Amino acid sequence: MRILYIAPAHPALRRDNDRPYKGSIFFRHPDYDFLRTKAIHKDIDYIDERITTLEYRPCDLVLIPVLTSTLHRAVEIGALFRRERTPVIFFGPLARIGQNYLLNHCDSVVIGDIGYALSEIISDLETNSLKRIYLARGVSFPINRSAENLPGFVRDYSRLRLLFGCGCPDHKEWCYEYYLFPEPVFCPVGIGLHLLSTMKRKRVVLIDDGIDSNPDYYLEFFKWSWPFHKEWIVTASGKIFDHPDLLLAMKRAGVRVIILKPDFYKDRSYRQLGKDLTFIHHLRMIPGVTIRLDPEITSDLIDEVLSLPADFALFPTLTPIPFTEEYESLRPVVDDFDFFDYGHPVIPDLNPGLIERVKDRYYSLDQIYRRLTRSIARIGFYNTFSYLLPINLALRQNFLEGIPYPP
């Protein structure tokens, strides 16, 4: 049975014929759900529109992950294959909250984990009895990493996922993970360590949505992971500073970069922000902040962010998720879902000019140089030139190329 897994790309990232890839390779990884489905069913091919131009090819089934910014493209791709009577299945967070809309454009939707539901889907397809809705009641953890070696993907990083669910301390209704996995599921520590042991690359991006959402779990995981001598990029909320034992375990395990979620910047005074970021520096780790751009931002934001001892910053825009109450209450001024990419202003009173000025100033070469010289004595030569500088240059490249937000 030939299965085709197609990862649709945002228009700003979609590759055209033989033209160069768009955006920094630093952020370009194969879809993690594909790595897990490949571990379940070997005869599955992968098309990622960021690195491959999509053309029709005969197959028995098409799987398409759907986010808001790729919804229209997913519908286009689905129509292409359905015209040839090939079944198309949509999955992802929108399958739970917008299933009625999606079912108008596909044969089936999967609510929950596509990896867990795949065996049932294949069995039904063989008997020509596909269901309209598949409800996955578990999560599949095994990974096949062969796609990481495809041309166009970053060569020295692998990704790992231990948490399937939302790690946000509040405002979970803004998080896709909350709708995909309303009840968080953690990979057993033993299985997680096994997945880590089979990973050949030294640098790991832990794509869990907040490692402080379950500090005891991650404390145990990092305690046992240090013998593998990996170097980590992780994400945490501001509550990570309530768990100094976890921070120390992360340092010993080789964590190099901590990306702090929007609550960190939103809920602290300027003085406390500086104190916490400096503490991460003292542990010889690199702190990055996430600043959600909403209608409350002013021009003062630029100077305040530049003066913080953060080594880089991400600037997603406040973007509601369709088919939710928050979407209706915010009354978006843009109805083209292609712009719901966390890079464009889609709600009222969000100043697009100010957004561009913030990014232009922050990602300028002189500011990158300033951050480099300020932090090198604290975090060391290796961390500076292996992480701080590449991350800043990657963010600058995406900004200059008009990539809305690091994928």
Measured distance CA(27)–CA(5) in Å, rounded = 20
Q: Is 380 left (phi over 0), alpha (psi -120 to 50) or beta?
A: left
Cα three-residue angle 293-297-299, rounded to 5 degrees: 120
Pseudo-torsion of CA 44, 50, 51, 57, nearest 10°? 40
225: tokens are 């992971």
- In this predicted structure, what is the pLDDT of residue 301? 86
Sketch out the chain's domains with CATH numbers.
3-135 (3.40.50.2300), 146-400 (3.20.20)
CA geometry: angle 261, 143, 172, nearest 5 deg: 25
Contact criterion met (CB below 8 Å) for 70 and 404? no
pLDDT at res. 405: 75
Q: What is the pLDDT of residue 328?
A: 84
Q: Report the distance separating Cα 277 and Cα 286, nearest Å.
A: 9
Ramachandran region of residue 259, left (φ > 0), alpha (ψ -120 to 50) or beta?
beta
- Residues 16 and 384: beta-carbon distance below 8 Å: no
Cα–Cα distance list, 242 to 172, 211, 213, 310 (Å): 20, 12, 11, 19
Secondary structure element (H or E) that encloses residue 381, with its range: helix 365-383
C-alpha–C-alpha distance, residues 319 and 184, integer Å: 23
Per-10-residue mean pLDDT of the chain, 407 residues long, equals 94 82 93 96 94 92 96 96 96 94 97 96 95 96 95 95 89 87 95 96 95 95 96 96 96 97 90 95 96 86 91 93 88 89 90 87 95 94 97 94 79
CA distances 241 to 148, 261, 387, Å, are 33, 13, 22
Q: Which two tokens stand for residue 308?
A: 């913080």
DSSP string, 76-137: HHHHHHHTTT--EEEESTHHHHSHHHHTTSSSEEEES-HHHHHHHHHHHHHTT---SEEE--
Q: What is the pLDDT of residue 34?
A: 97
Please count the residues of the chain.
Answer: 407
Amino acid at 148: E
Return the pLDDT at 407.
56
Spacing of C-alpha 175 from chain mean position: 11
**Coil/strand/helix, residue 65:** strand
- Which residues, other chains included, contact 302 with Cβ-Cβ below 8 Å and sequence gap of 6+? 357, 358, 361, 362
SS3 64: strand
